[in-house]
Amino acid sequence: MKVGVVGTGYVGLVLGAGLAESGNHVVCGDIDVRKIEVLNAGGIPIYEPGLDDLVERNRAKGRLAFTTDIPTLVREATVIFIAVGTPPQEDGSADLQHVLACARTIAANMDGYRLVVVKSTVPVGTCDKVRACLAQHTTHPFDVASNPEFLKEGDAVHDMMKPDRIVCGTDSERARELLTEVYGTFVRTGNPILFMDVRSSEMTKYASNAMLATRISFMNEIAGLCDRIGADVDKVRAGMGADPRIGSRFLFAGVGYGGSCFPKDVKALVATGRENGLAMRVLDAVEEVNADQKLLLVDKLVALLGPDLSGVHCAVWGLAFKPNTDDMREAPATEVIRGLVGRGASVRAYDPIAMDNARGILSGLPRVEFAEDEYAAVDGADVLMLVTEWGEFRQPDFDLVKERMRGRLVLDGRNIWTPARLRELGFTYLGVGRP
């Protein structure tokens, strides 16, 4: 099948490459000329493990192409996915200008039936707006479907090729048949394509991310109480997770969530509730807890050393919002570093992948340096803070760390290290919700 994907960010590029891998002929389009130039030259504008091989293999086989010519993409495709950005506005609601601009371009260049699939994360009712926009600008037949993405950054290729479920919202049998054809090879192992009405499909995406964010903030609040009463949140998590009604995933305490999805989607769902006269009180609390949690390590340091951190040198390991990505959007490390320098501390930071993006965000701050590796980051440091749990940080050479640090304080923001081992080595260890 001939498929067009408008947007070559995390969602659009993974989607296009994955659909090409299953035998479709896919053209990915974007108005960002530089991004398309990079792709056509064999590069990848984002970091996502496994994506470079997937793109190059399908580009070499002629099943995947990239263009800035969106009108031609529209004329040559039967199914067109909208995968453009929906950034949050000041009130937290999603900005739909790019989605609707894309719909107008599609309508202006249709020469027959098209199935327009909204892949971007959008508020409930957006597909109705896309349908109205298409109807206003074309007389050709079309269908509009919702198909939210459930890709985890750092594991997006696996999620694309082996999805746990595919959600599609449509009231058209023709659209249902086309989507079944597009996605049929991805569900041969039995994981379902869940067809439903459009608004339920749109809601499913937001509700899923909001639930995951809620679990994270809940456990972080429990961890805070564990700190006060001397309980161990890791043991509490194990006891809770053994209950099949609860399960063990997304119950890890830490320094909060970030990224392109959870913060934006929680805010958008709260805004949708507000627009419809409903206060989303649980999600308001989820956001509040998460905002506080991003400053937890700073608060712990202030509790030990006082509010004036002048002269304190802090090493920060991990800058991306999660491992296996270079994405710095809403990253807890950003707030940690801002909080430290705002109290007079100096920072030397390291991340395996996200250094360039981090420099763009943090280089304007005073007393912030970037190290060439994790051990260079701890040279002369009074404090080591673990913010992002990259695999290479899980078993570091703590003898070398001890040798190169000036101080002996370790703040583990992801609970990945063994407290007893570090204390044996002479470190003062503080985790999240650990006694």
What digits encode the pLDDT tens for the residues 381-422? Answer: 999 999 999 999 999 999 999 999 999 999 999 999 999 999
- pTM for the whole thing? 0.92
What is the spatial order of strands in the sheet that 383-386 belongs to? 368-370, 346-350, 313-317, 383-386, 409-412, 428-430
Question: What pLDDT is stored for residue 89 in this prediction?
Answer: 87
* Ordered structural domains, the chain, with CATH: 2-196 (3.40.50.720), 206-291 (1.10.1040.10), 294-430 (3.40.50.720)
Cα–Cα separations (whole angstroms), residue 88 to 111, 121, 122, 271: 34, 11, 11, 10
Instruction: Return d(Cα 148, Cα 430) in angstroms, integer.
Output: 39
What is the rounded average pLDDT of the residues 215-228?
A: 97
> Among residues 133, 168, 261, 314, which one is catalytic?
261
Model confidence at 303, pLDDT cuts 50, 70, 90, reads very high
Model confidence at 191, pLDDT cuts 50, 70, 90, reads confident
Nearest alpha-carbon partner for 261 in 269, 252, 249: 269
Question: What pLDDT is stored for residue 62 in this prediction?
Answer: 95
What is the rounded average pLDDT of the residues 244-272?
A: 94
Nearest alpha-carbon partner for 41 in 66, 18, 63, 11: 66
**Residue 265 near residue 259 (C-beta atoms within 8 A):** no
Residue 261 known to be catalytic: yes
